[in-house]
Amino acid sequence: MKKKTIILTAAAAILAASAAFGMTWLQKPKETAATPKFGEYQNPVFEPVFADPSVIKGEDGYYYAYGTEDDWGDGHGPHVVPILRSKNLVDWKFHRDAFEVKPGWKEGGGGLWAPDISKHKDGKYYMYYSVSIWGDPNPAIGVATADSPGGPFTDQGQLFTSDSIGVDNSIDPQFFQDDDGKSYLFWGSFHGIYGIELSADGLKTVGEKFQVADTQYEAPYVIKRDGKYYFFGSAGSCCDGENSTYHVNVGRSDSIKEPFKDAKGVSLLQGGGTTVLAFNEKKGKNGKQFVGPGHNAIVTDAAGKDWILYHAIDADDPRLLNGATRRPLLIDAITWEKGWPTVKGKEPGNGPAPAPAVK
């Protein structure tokens, strides 16, 4: 019995020592309410800034996101249409800038804003983009192409200017191809949202423009679902730091050229719009409070669920070092209710949430 007593005594000593150190060698790391678990994510999904996002999935299995030209304060200088890459829509890494040489065809120059990415029938990737500065009297829209979504992109020059198309502040383009194969470009910023048909090669406009929403909107994004056309547009101020009032409204139509109407039947040409996404009234479990959400894109995950990507502003950290509004990248799930899209709480997710499905 003496040998057994010695073993038990040693075991007791080990347990006592472990208790004294909190048994840290046996315990798992303590989780908090804000600790993401497997298959979860938290907003923002990319910082410091990634405004006006557009996204596409490449044949290599990666998602590629494109954002407005900005200086991230990383010593690089302005990123001329930065491209991010991700396997799962929430873990993004910088890939490259879209252009090796900034397009210089616009008189007076300007920043490259609000790129929109799409893949065309010829297998090439087309990126429509805005060229403008604040207060620009003649903003313009150009187009560039690449053989792969990761670029680099080759500029194809001007599609139109505000003067040539007859719409003030012509920025924020979005390419849309209908089921009949016809292609359209939607665009506009607080001077009406318009659409126009594009040529087969996507490099020219065809026919007359048509208006689909009024002067409260910019950043149009049109999708088709179950035979209906849905218009997502941003209203309010995008870039006033913590005081920004940006938010996303939606309208629906039976035809690509008809005015869109909100859930109450009010035309978006007459002040209509059903809110999909607005600001957080309170901080979330991750301590974040986001304001000014908007300028969205829509993407579908591997399970067929739709997600809205957009920029927003952290109310506690609203500015870049140069004073510009800091607009990181966020993503949230879309729920369809009786034929209308919405986001949970109609506000940015600011706590742990289930991540998009991936293969």
Active site residue ranges: 52, 218
Question: How are beta strands 247-253 and 274-277 bridged, if at all?
Answer: antiparallel
Residue 125 exposure: Cα atoms within 13 Å on the Cβ side? 24
Phi, psi (rounded to 5 degrees) for 39: 80, 15
Token match 């999708």: residue?
A: 223
| Secondary structure letter of residue 46 according to DSSP | B
Q: Which two tokens stand for residue 44?
A: 């923002």
- Report the distance separating Cα 100 and Cα 117, nearest Å: 17
Q: What angle do CA 332, 336, 342 make, to 5 degrees?
A: 50
